[in-house]
Amino acid sequence: MEKLIVDKKYDNKKLSKIVLDEKKEIHYPLFCKLLRKKDIKVNGKRVNKDIIVYDNDEIILYLPEQKKEDKVIQIIYEDNNILVVNKEAGMEVTGQNSLTEKLRGQCKEREKINPCHRIDRNTMGLVVFAKSEKALQIMLEKFKNHEIEKHYLAFVYGIPNQKSKRIKSYLFKDNKKARVYIKDEFEKGYQPIITSYTVLEKRRNNTALLDVEIETGRTHQIRAHLAYLGYPIIGDGKYGKNEINRKFKQNTQLLWAYKLKFNFQKNSDILTYLDSKEIILPDWQNLIKGREF
């Protein structure tokens, strides 16, 4: 429970104004949730609207207990235009209780940030956010035009015969089944995908660590494409194999978005300074330590 007494400077102002100003840990989505649940009292009465408050009014906020899993999101890189963070597994990039919502709530100055791309709910690693509409439009164009390299680390079952390979296939997204399907040849409804991999390490028990780069960013592309090629990601419950996941005691796909490289070819306006820059997940080598299966 938190208590506020309305100061003269907030007289005849909206409830949200004083709450968001005086309680930095409360972001706007949380404020709206408190209203919906009637977890705010003004002068002893529960309210569900953003009402006007007056000098010396008493406000009581019944805040939810912070869950242990609600960790501070790790910021990997930040400047005046973009923000790059490390997403944990189990979190959507957008939507309710998402990475975007949590990041906006983590610091009030980031209320207007927007993601420039997405990674799967259980994929971990780097996600880029824009701090302004102009930066967002530039970044969206760069991702669309493949001017940003996206590299992933993947632990797979099976060892590729070739050290490096670039594969073009076709992907169909079945929205009803919430999964995708891969084919070698084009068929109606299928979209082209290009996935490249380099074997970083060959490990015991028929496992390998791959650096994976995608030139197209289709839903579940890496997971489905590698599984189709015979190298399912360990821990992947949808495209992997249950017996393999049980064997290695993994219930979350071992896939990290660990490196971004900006290779701008066209005008980049306010983001020109990012050209040729690499952003790498710090201590990424530690991700693979202790996984000698």
Active site residues: 120
* DSSP 3-state percent helix, strand, coil across the chain (nearest 5): 25, 35, 45
Residue 125 · residue 119 · CB < 8 Å = yes
Q: How many angstroms separate the CA atoms of 206 and 201, rounded?
A: 11
- C-alpha R_g of the chain: 23
Q: How far apart are CA 256 and CA 212, in angstroms?
A: 10
CA dihedral (216, 267, 78, 19) positive or negative:
negative
Q: Give the count of beta carbons closer than 10 Å to the beta carbon of residue 128.
A: 24
